Chains A and B, each alone.
Chain A
Amino acid sequence: MRRFWFSTLVFMLAVSLVVPPLVNGQESVLDKIKKRGRLVCGVYGGLPGFSFLSQDGTWSGFDVDYCRAVAAAVLGDPDKVEFVPLKTPERFPALQTGEIDVLIRNTTWTLTRDTQVGADFAPPTFYDGQGFMVHKKHGIIALEELAGASICVTAGSTTELNLADTMRALGVDFKPVVFEEIDTLYNSYEQERCDVVTSDKSQLAARRNVLKNPEDHVILDVTISKEPLGPVTIHGDNKWNDVVSWVVYATFFAEEHGITQSNVGTYKSKNPEIGRFLGETGDMGGKLGLSEDWARQVIAAVGHYGEIFDRNLTPIGLPRGVNKPWTQGGLLYAMPFR
């Protein structure tokens, strides 16, 4: 009897480990959303500037705006979104099981995630990277000057590993001061228990803003890791991934050409590519399985990339950095609308 129970347990465990990512061969998520009349979007749910519940009970933030943009493209209404706050361990299972249609939650695009966890990535909407913040009075501008400095870092994170790797490569000795909690990390830094604090630059900028005297702290120019953050869809649903990708490209394209939330309704141009973008010619919408004016809807709902950025990330003190159109020396590059 005992043996029977034991083997049942082992069997169930084995099943749970080998359950493959569920690929919905028959029906694209796109069609499901149209049938349901609502996009289900997985977000972080408490990340400054990216997604949070604002005072009137509506969601706002950079990631939230991308959810709304996708809803506008598919359903013609940016408000037809159900937001599902997700914690780190449940975000990929939620995507695999179809709990959510798209995951827009500061998820870094890596090879392992692209191949092993049943996820497909759309173009990154935000290029983050690990940086350093120092007390201005120390006058430090480069990592080489940090010899002997104490550096605040969160425990067990890739942040900690990146820090160790970089400093070893530079041959700089330092003293790590490790914390579990983000709040205590920045409190300790402010109380000068360490000279430097390291984390993703977006977080550094947001936190710098709420230190007692933000001007007394400098974020160094150097970036020691790549964190491309973007929307994620279920692996194997190319039709749906195409839609999400081109919504992202639409926000890039509109910024390249100065098509804004306020002028998109009346925008006129002789440029045939803009004509195709606005749905006047070329049946771009039909090829994606969307309406002809999908890109117009996206821009009318949330504006172009720069507007989304300015609305959500500029207030928390984030500089555009590399998150600029390629025409201005940034990394945002829309594929041709042809």
Chain B
Amino acid sequence: MEERAPNPVIKPPTESKGILRWLKENLFNTWYNALFTLLAIVFLYVAFKGILTWAFTEANWGVIPANLQIFLVGAYPREEIWRVWIVIYTLGLLLGLSSGIWGGLALRLALVIGAVGGGVGIILAFFPTAFFNRFGLLGGVALLAVSLFLGRGRQRLRPWVLGGWLLSFPWTMIWLHGFAGLPTVLTSNWGGLLLTLILAAVGIVVSFPLGVLLALGRRSNLPAIKWVSTAYIETVRGVPLVTILFMAQIMVPIFLPDFRIDKILRAMLGITLFSAAYMAENVRGGLQAIPKGQHEAAHALGLNYPLTMLLIILPQALRSVIPAIVGQFISLFKDTSLVTVIGLLDLLGIAKTVIANPDWLGLQAEVYLFAAVIYFVFSYFMSYISQKIEDALGVG
């Protein structure tokens, strides 16, 4: 009998390939792909050469650090800015504790925010400005880390932290506005990124439950509720946001001459009510995807309407429309820039007033690009978080 040679041992395929190998396999594997790659390189070169030359040689980036304060907080008085820091620290503390207690998604959120905040903080630390501007952000990241470790395993803190989140918003508003001994900072002085974030946060946090209620209302069996919800949704969706903001700004004071509502509050109302209508339709899409059997099963278990909705229907419905809802949040965040047309100085409004400063006339490209980058960072952050939520819920 012939002795058979033992099977040669086959090496497992290597996971990591060299860069050259990767290039060859992905970009130059056939002659036409190679051609496309070269064409793409030429195209990128032509497209970006001008931008890069401009960014590194012609652009005057001095306008950004010089106006950083008003980009961030608008006309908020310099001697009161510490109050904004307190707000950031409070939120950092809450986020740190939550991520320590719950882990999972909150932890990921905290890590991303910590990493980005730390990165920006390190850059800021090199700027020769006031002590707090340089090291304030790093301090916040440190606080986040400390509270994260403090929160680990302390399950009994849960109700306190939840309560903290609930109270954080009204507290932030009152704290920034001033009460008792604190000097009042009128909302007309709130501006920049601070105002953009406040408008977006209010819009997102309030329009979501409102949207869910409207969606449920539209599917209700009670005609009155059904028709009111439908009428509301259709009316608001039929009107551009700019129109609603103008209405809130110009018509409301004419109809209510003796009753002054704060200008920012009116903008918040406009944005929230507008967004709620769209949110309702997103949620309704999810509700329609739930098979009837789920309702019937809940009935069979003896659950009443609220419990059916809360425990059976909504968790499934919302899960399936996360991308649509987050898309709505992102567009709401960017839509807050429309408040410039009613004279509020949000991030975009500040950009416009900065280029009217005689010291920085004619620098619109730099200023608008900076604003665009900030909008992008926040929008991408929201998108990233939504992906993680989907992963965590196993939808992705």
List A residues at the B interface (Cβ < 8 Å): 16, 19, 22, 45-49, 51-59, 82-87, 89-90, 93-94, 96-99, 183, 206-207, 209-211, 315-316
- Knowing A53-B74, A53-B75, A87-B341, say if A45 contacts B349 (CB, 8 Å): yes
Among residues of B, the one whose C-beta sits closest to the C-beta of A40 is B188
CA distance A86 to B349 in the complex (A): 11
CA distance A147 to B355 in the complex (A): 35
Can you give 7 contacting A-B residue pairs, CB < 8 Å?
A45-B345, A55-B66, A55-B357, A57-B70, A59-B75, A83-B188, A89-B250
- Knowing A53-B350, A85-B343, A89-B246, say if A48 contacts B361 (CB, 8 Å): yes
Query: Shortest beta-carbon distance, A74 to chain B, in Å?
Result: 18
Contacts of A51 in B (CB 8 A): 356
Interface residue stretch chosen among B4-12, B93-101, B103-111, B251-259: B251-259
- CB of B249 within 8 A of chain A? yes
Query: Shortest beta-carbon distance, A244 to chain B, in Å?
Result: 20
| Contacts between the two chains (Cβ within 8 Å), count | 105
CB-based contact B254/A55 at 8 Å: no
Contacts of B75 in A (CB 8 A): 53, 57-59, 83
Query: Shortest beta-carbon distance, A196 to chain B, in Å?
Result: 20
- CB of B78 within 8 A of chain A? yes
CA distance A19 to B252 in the complex (A): 12
CB-based contact A16/B358 at 8 Å: no
Per DSSP, are chain B's interface residues mostly helix, strand or loop, or mixed? helix
Known: A22-B257, A45-B352, A53-B70. 5 other contacts (CB 8 A): A45-B345, A46-B349, A53-B74, A87-B341, A87-B342
B343 in complex: contacting residue of A86, A183, A209, CB < 8 Å: A86
Contacts of A93 in B (CB 8 A): 250, 253-254
- CB of B230 within 8 A of chain A? no
- Knowing A59-B75, A82-B188, A83-B188, say if A53 contacts B254 (CB, 8 Å): no
- CB of B383 within 8 A of chain A? no
- CB of B16 within 8 A of chain A? no
Contacts of A82 in B (CB 8 A): 186, 188
- Knowing A22-B257, A53-B74, say if A90 contacts B361 (CB, 8 Å): no
Contacts of A210 in B (CB 8 A): 361-362
CB-based contact B358/A316 at 8 Å: yes
- CB of B89 within 8 A of chain A? no
Contacts of B361 in A (CB 8 A): 48, 206-207, 209-210, 316
- Knowing A57-B69, A90-B249, A183-B364, say if A47 contacts B356 (CB, 8 Å): yes
Query: Shortest beta-carbon distance, A45 to chain B, in Å?
Result: 6
Contacts of A57 in B (CB 8 A): 69-70, 73-78, 189
Instruction: Scan B244-268; emit 1 where CB is below 8 A from any A CB, else 0.
Output: 0010011101100100100100000
A19 in complex: contacting residue of B69, B191, B254, B359, CB < 8 Å: B254
CB-based contact B254/A84 at 8 Å: no
- CB of B354 within 8 A of chain A? yes
CA distance A158 to B144 in the complex (A): 56
Query: Shortest beta-carbon distance, B141 to chain A, in Å?
Result: 25
Contacts of A97 in B (CB 8 A): 253-254, 257
Contacts of A96 in B (CB 8 A): 254
CB-based contact A315/B70 at 8 Å: no
CA distance A49 to B188 in the complex (A): 21
CB-based contact A55/B353 at 8 Å: no
CB-based contact B188/A87 at 8 Å: no
Contacts of B350 in A (CB 8 A): 53
CA distance A99 to B66 in the complex (A): 32
- CB of B67 within 8 A of chain A? yes
CA distance A55 to B67 in the complex (A): 5
CA distance A59 to B191 in the complex (A): 13
Contacts of A46 in B (CB 8 A): 349, 352-353, 355-356
Contacts of A47 in B (CB 8 A): 356
Q: Which of A22, A97, A315, A316 has the largest count of B CB atoms less than 10 A from its CB?
A: A97
Contacts of A87 in B (CB 8 A): 341-343
CB-based contact A48/B356 at 8 Å: yes
CA distance A49 to B78 in the complex (A): 23
Among residues of A, the one whose C-beta sits closest to the C-beta of B345 is A85
CA distance A209 to B78 in the complex (A): 30
Contacts of B66 in A (CB 8 A): 55
